[in-house]
Amino acid sequence: MSPRHYRRLSASIVVATCLMGIGTGSPVHASLQRGQGLLGRPSPPQPQQKPGLDYFAGTWRFSWTGRESALTAGPRRGTATFTRTADTLAMKIEGTVDGGSAYQETGTLSWNEERKALSVRERLAAGAEISGVGDWSSPIAINMTIEPVTLKGQTARLRRFYSILSASSFSIAEELSMDGGPFVRLGKGDFIRQP
């Protein structure tokens, strides 16, 4: 074993031994319980947004990078407005795609508090209508699966991963599978809340 590998192994053993020795009555354990790191410094705050429709209500500016597909346009930017209606949010997305042509989508969001589930129904700019349900049991992420859609004889499956970054920022990453093939990265949108 080379001296470099020996030093790495020794350091790993020391860290593991130290962590195993942190009992519930130790000062280090008490420090970690108070939200402090191993060196006594405060841990950075984690976003803890309350899941539900109120998070999305309002207007968001977005920028989307990614490729064009049978379901979606390529790179685009604009605004997404979510307006409260009874127990849902009406969604209207307006903007432009690279090259300057207009881009518009509409839909609704609904929320099931008991199941911690966010449901979406959308009419995409390309004309396809999609619907899906996302698990929002974590305050920092929503994993959503969209029902399969048939377009020009092909079956498209879309997955969305929402990252709830703060009260004024979230992102969406999309993956697409065509005709049962592997899911591939489609694009990513960054959303910033507008005053």
- Please tell me whether residues 76 and 130 are part of one structural domain: yes
- Please tell me whether residues 96 and 19 are part of one structural domain: no
For the chain, the domain total comes to 2
- Please tell me whether residues 130 and 165 are part of one structural domain: yes
- Please tell me whether residues 146 and 59 are part of one structural domain: yes
- Please tell me whether residues 109 and 19 are part of one structural domain: no
CATH code assigned at 147:
2.40.128.20
- Please tell me whether residues 20 and 80 are part of one structural domain: no
- Which residues span the domain enclosing 94? 53-193
Q: Has residue 43 been placed in a domain?
A: no
- Please tell me whether residues 24 and 70 are part of one structural domain: no
Is the pLDDT at 141 greater than 50? The verdict is: yes
Q: Has residue 82 been placed in a domain?
A: yes
- Please tell me whether residues 121 and 187 are part of one structural domain: yes
Q: Please report the pLDDT score of residue 48 as a whole number.
A: 75
- Please tell me whether residues 79 and 28 are part of one structural domain: no
The first and second tokens of residue 172, run together, are 């969406």
Q: Has residue 122 been placed in a domain?
A: yes
Q: Has residue 42 been placed in a domain?
A: no
- Please tell me whether residues 57 and 28 are part of one structural domain: no
Q: Please report the pLDDT score of residue 76 as a whole number.
A: 96
Q: Has residue 133 been placed in a domain?
A: yes
- Please tell me whether residues 90 and 127 are part of one structural domain: yes
Out of 6-15, 53-62, 66-75, 148-157, give the one with best mean pLDDT.
53-62
Q: Has residue 46 been placed in a domain?
A: no
Q: Please report the pLDDT score of residue 116 as a whole number.
A: 97
- Please tell me whether residues 76 and 150 are part of one structural domain: yes
Q: Over the stretch 29-56, which tens digit does the pLDDT of each residue have?
A: 454 445 555 556 676 666 578 999 999 9
